[in-house]
Amino acid sequence: MTTDLGTPPVLSPEEAERAVLLAAPRGYCAGVDRAVVTVEKALDLYGAPVYVRKQIVHNKHVVSDLESRGAIFVEELDEVPAGATVVFSAHGVSPEVHRQAQQRELKTIDATCPLVTKVHHEAKRFAGEDYDILLIGHEGHEEVEGTAGEAPDHIQLVQGPEDVAGIVVRDPEKVAWLSQTTLSVDETLETVAAIRERFPALLDPPSDDICYATQNRQLAIKEIARDADLVIVVGSGNSSNSVRLVEVALEAGARSAHRVDDATEIDEAWLEGVSTVSVTSGASVPEELVQGVLAFLAERGYPDAQAVHSAEESLIFALPKELRRDLKAAQQAAISS
C-alpha cells in the first residue's frame, strides 16, 4: 500500500489528480515497543494473568489485544491480588506507587519509558537543589502524575501560557522547568517563553524533555500537511501525542484533520472534494491500523501512498532489568534440564 517517492506509482486518469502521502516516521516509538513487548514476554514467562497498572500505552487496540492474551488492566494497585505480578505502564509511576507495591509484596516490572525516567531524575535533581519546578503538561495525565510524585513539594503544574500569571514561587532566582514528553513542541516553547518573561533566571532542563519520537512525528506531519485537503491521524483519544498531531497538522496548513482509532471511524463525507490525503499515526499505534486506513482509501479510488521520509529512527531500549533477569534464569534452567 506504500510507494516510495523515488518510484512514483502509475496512476489511472481518474486517480491522476489524487495523492496519498504517508508520514515517515510514524507509529511505534522505542518506548512503546519496549512496553508492549514487556507485557507479551511477561505473559509468556509467568503465564496469565499478568496485571498492568493503567493502560500500558494509550491505544485501545493494543490494550484489547493484550487483554485477549491474559493481561488484566487495573487503575490502582489495590485491585491486584497480593503477591501477583504487575507491570507499570510506559508513562511512569510515582515513588508512592512503588511503596504501595512493596507493601503488598507485588512482583513489579517497571516498563516506564527511559525518556520519562530521565524527566523523573531531573525532577529529583532540581528538587534536591531546592528549585521550584514548573512542570508543563496536562492535568490528570499519568506521566504528569508520576513525575510530580517525585517531588510534590517542589513541583507545580503549568498547562499553558494562560497559567503563567498565577505562578507563585519562593525565589524567582531558583525556578526550573520540565515538561511532559508527549506535548506539542511549538506550544511547549510558547509556554516556556511566557514563563521566562516572568522569571528571567528560569533554568532549562539539561536536555530536551519532549521525546525524539514525538518531535519526529510532529516534524513529519508538518511536511505532509501543508498542502493536504485532509489529514488522518491514527491514534486513540487518550493519546496525548496523537491528539497533538491533529493540532500540528492544522497549524501547518491542512484544510481539515481528524483523529481515528482505525479505518472504521473514517467518515466518507470527509473525502468529498478531497485530492490529497495525508496519513500518520501516533507513537503507540500498531502499523496494521495505518494499513487499514490506506486500504480504506484505496477502495475509494485513492492511489498507493507515497512515503515522505523526514527522519530516520534506530533507537532501541533494553527490556526492564527485572524481566531480563527472569528471562535469563528461565533460559539457564531450560539448558540445565
> Phi/psi at 74 (nearest 5 deg)?
-130, 160
Nearest to 58 by CA among 210, 286, 255: 286
Task: Give the strand order in the sheet containing 71-74.
Answer: 71-74, 50-53, 85-88, 107-110
124 vs 147: CA distance, rounded Å: 9
143 vs 325: CA distance, rounded Å: 26
Catalytic: 143? Answer: yes
Catalytic hit among 142, 143, 145, 150: 143
Nearest to 180 by CA among 140, 137, 122, 149: 137
Cell numbers describing residue 245: 498531531
CA neighbours closer than 13 Å in the CB half-sphere of residue 36: 20
Residues in the chain: 337
Q: How far is CA 1 from the centre of its chain?
A: 25
Tell me the β-bridge partners of 53.
74, 88
Residues with catalytic function: 143
